[in-house]
Structure 1
Amino acid sequence: MLENNQQLFVALIGSLSLQKAEAGVCQGAIFSLSLVYYCVILFLNISLVVLIVWDENLHEPMYVLLCCVCINAVYGTTGFYPKFLLDLLSIAQEISYEWCLFQAFVMYSFACCELSILAVMAYDRYLAICRPLHYRLLMTKRRLSQLVSFSWLTPFCIFSISILLTSRLELCSLKIQRLLCVNWIIVQLACPGSNTLSNSIVSYATIFIYVSHGFFIIWTYMHLIRTCAASKDDRVKFMQTCVPHLISLITFLTVIVFDLMYMRFGSAGLPQSLQNFIAIEFLVFPPMMNPLIYGFKLTKIRNRVLSLIDLRGR
């Protein structure tokens, strides 16, 4: 084992692997853009969380779940951007084994929490539109708390086990050809003959659990579409509350599935800069898009924001 795995992984940032004369300018530009982008993500998501917490009119399940999405975005992006920004200011891009495992835990739990919360949001919309008379009875504060707790605790428990199993592997390589640490890449660094069966079992069990989330979301939308097709009022509700959810869901699933497929089956012949972009898509688009989409589309939030802007203008 690599001296009890205390060495540094070398995270190769291909887009920054330029000639020394050009590297400083490139790194400076990427650092500035990344810092601004990260600050905007924090501002948008934290602002929406504060607005929902502060305004009692927004203390409804749909907005509470949106608050959870924004908190999760802050959690996930904070697991990547600060370290990435530090790397851009460093000559060598390195990360300790312990921090690499921790980052892998944050990335996986962030992604799975996002999907779980989106599944709960789909269930909430299904109850609100398809079973409106039973909505208050079924979506109580206690039920909402249980669903949110499930969305957070399940990924944390699963990936705690997964990272613990990975930490027991004997590694024979130090180089990670990605901008961030992910569990599957670390497992691939294991020495030949290492027992990775437990890691594979946990991995496939996780895939089964979250693919089941996907099928559940499809089931809810089949009912939603069928219900809304027969009612003009329900179609209005669908356009106002379900369309933002669908955009968030499709965006998130597209970037996650694309990254997973590339990580498992992709070609190493692609330019390193393109590989880097593929690796962090899920940390670029959903955290920025979600607060903007919901902020513009949900009437209560949009009106509240406009009223605050009007008060400031006076």
Structure 2
Amino acid sequence: MDDQFNVTYITLGGHVEVDKYRYLYFVIMFTVYIFIICSNAIIVYLIVIHRNLHEPMYIFIAALLVNSVLYSTAIYPKFLIDFLSEKQIISHSVCHFQFFLFYTLGGSEFLLLSAMAYDRYVSICKPLQYPVIMRKTTISIFLLLAWLVPACQVAGSAALSARRKLCNFTLKGIFCNNSIYKLHCVSSRGLSIYGVIILLNVVFFPLLFIVFTYIKILVISYRSSREVRKKAAQTCLPHLLVLINLSLLCTYDIIILRLESELPKTIRLIMTLQVVLYHPLFNPIIYGLKMKEITKHLCKLFCRVKII
């Protein structure tokens, strides 16, 4: 605690041999962060400038990629600062703000994938009603809810946690996640229950909805023509791959929290990096390679760059 300014600082104790490898860590994470921004931004740029990509499915993809950049920006700049600093610390208020951003944007991913699943369901199972159902107003409402619902719920959890007294000032991690609950002098049953409610609302229920929707799509596609099955596979497979990847990373985050004290420090660091490393890189690669229209525009863009 800094008495002069009355600011409480938390030590991020999950780093491994920063003094020895600080510049190596910095170069690797800086390169990854730049690649995340560039790869996501290129696909968003293509969706914005090409009129044939101004469809609900591509708008949701663009929103998902923007969300990935925001998610990374909530984590990576602090990593880079920590690697170059003598002490890896964060103020109590900034820690809770990072906690808020991490779980809000993580929850938004599931809700955006739910909106995409509904869009594919209407497109494949109710093609005649698609223009009426998936209007600009509907898309705007889905996007607003995808960011607003997790933000409102996680804000409550962050505010309640921030008011609790701390008896421990060392976090066994490299950024602020649910591990901040272990810093409290007394564990709160109410806060734990509220956390479970958030998990149900922004992860479990959206996941159930997506699974139910894709089962319906699978049944309808199986009964339909070969062309419908092909369309379903082309547009639904990338979303399912992204969903599986995100679900695994969400499971990782829960495992790290539950087994935190039992895991060696190096293993804990490697597992934590999985949570923030793969998903923002995975999204643009999957959508860039698996979405036919986006792949076409990517090829044209890079061919033009080569000619120049």
Q: TM-score range by the shorter chain?
A: over 0.9
Name the residue aligned to 2:123. 128
Select which of 106, 119, 138 maps to 2:101. Answer: 106
1:251 to 222, 235, 245: 245
Q: Is the 8 A contact 2:96 2:162 kept in 1?
A: yes
User: Do the aligned residues in 1 keep the contact of 2:2 with 2:8 (CA within 8 Å)?
Assistant: yes
Residue matched to 1:16: 17
Q: Unpaired runs of 5+ in structure 1?
A: 18-22
Residue of structure 1 in register with 2:265 after alignment: 272
Residue ranges of structure 2 left out of the alignment (5+ in a row): none
For 1:118 and 1:38, locate their aligned partners in 2 and report how far apart those are by CA, in whole Å. Answer: 23
Match of 1:229 among 191, 200, 222: 222
Measured at CA, do residues 106 and 267 of structure 1 come closer, stay the same or move farther in structure 2, by a change above 3 Å? closer
Partner residue, 2:153: 158
Q: 1:32 aligns with which of 24, 27, 32?
A: 27
Equivalent of 2:183, from 151, 165, 189? Answer: 189
Deviation per CA, 1:226-283: give whole Å up to 9, x if none.
Answer: 112223112211221111111100001011112213312x152322122022223232
TM-score (norm 1): 0.92
Distance in 2 separating the partners of 1:253 and 1:201: 21
* Maintained 8 Å contact 1:38/1:81: yes
Deviates more, 1:200-209 or 1:90-99: 200-209
**Which moved further from structure 2: 198-207 or 156-165?**
198-207
- Is 1:298 aligned to residue 305 of structure 2? no
> By how many angstroms is 1:5 displaced?
7.3
Would the aligned equivalents of 1:2 and 1:172 in 2 still touch at CA under 8 Å?
A: no
- Counterpart in the other structure of 1:207: 199
1:284 equivalenced with 2:285 (yes/no): no
Per-residue CA deviations over 1:197-224 (Å, capped at 9, x if unaligned) read 4422321211221311111011001101
Cα distance 1:109–1:280, how it changes in 2: closer, same or farther (>3 A)? Answer: farther
Whether contact under 8 Å (1:165, 1:198) holds in the other structure is no
Q: Count residues in correspondence.
A: 304
Partners of 1:13 and 1:190 in 2: CA distance: 18
Per-residue deviation, residues 279-307 of structure 1 (Å, max 9, x unmatched): 23232111001111111111111111112
Q: 1:5 to 1:199 in 2, by over 3 A?
A: farther
State the Cα distance separating 1:313 from its structure 2 match: 3.4
Q: TM-score, normalised by structure 2?
A: 0.94
Which residue does the alignment assign to 1:20? Answer: none
CA-to-aligned-CA distance 1:89-113 (integer Å, 9 cap, x gap): 1111011111101110111111101
1:312 Cα deviation (Å)? 3.1
Cα distance in 2 for residues equivalent to 1:113 and 1:280: 20
Q: Is the 8 A contact 1:113 1:151 kept in 2?
A: yes
Q: 1 CA distance for matches of 2:290 and 2:99?
A: 33
Q: Which residue of 2 aligns with 1:239?
A: 233
Q: Cα deviation per residue 1:69-91 (whole Å; 9 max; x = unaligned)?
A: 11101111001111101100111
Residue 220 in structure 1 maps to residue 221 in structure 2: no
8 Å contact kept, 1:13–1:93: no
Classify the secondary structure of the residue corresponding to 1:133.
coil
Q: What is residue 142 of structure 1 aligned with on the other side?
A: 137
- CA RMSD for the aligned pairs? 1.8
SS in 2 for 1:9: strand
73, 81, 89: which one aligns with 1:78 = 73
- 2:129 partner SS: helix
